[in-house]
Amino acid sequence: RKEVEQDPGPFNVPEGATVAFNCTYSNSASQSFFWYRQDCRKEPKLLMSVYSSGNEDGRFTAQLNRASQYISLLIRDSKLSDSATYLCVVRGGTNAGKSTFGDGTTLTVKP
């Protein structure tokens, strides 16, 4: 079983739709959680950190459920420019410095 698992998709949605991605992690001692966005053949870029209380940044909402060991990303009012691969990242536990990436979920927003 992978340490961090994501539904690979692809998710194909129309503009304006709401879409949600989930990510599960196996290490209950994990302490830090992030969502990254990666465009085709580019480096990943930080989208947002994920906090226990949940956090929002414009159209994006991230939530953490420690009891069930999953994090989620909700995108409202999807734009064409949201098309990308979204990577879930988990860090901490026995090796505090190590970040583990999920394989990513691909989103395509269509007109």
Give the interface with another protein as residue ranges (CB under 8 A): 4, 31-32, 34, 41-46, 49, 87, 89, 92, 96-104
Q: How far is the CB of 15 from another protein (least distance, A)?
A: 25
Nearer to another protein, 1 or 41 (CB): 41
Nearer to another protein, 17 or 103 (CB): 103
Nearer to another protein, 17 or 32 (CB): 32
Q: How far is the CB of 9 from another protein (least distance, A)?
A: 11
CA dihedral (9, 10, 16, 17) positive or negative = negative
Which residues 6+ apart lie within 8 Å of 51 measured at CB?
Answer: 62, 64
Which amino acid type is present at position 91?
R
Contact 13, 78 (CB under 8 A): yes
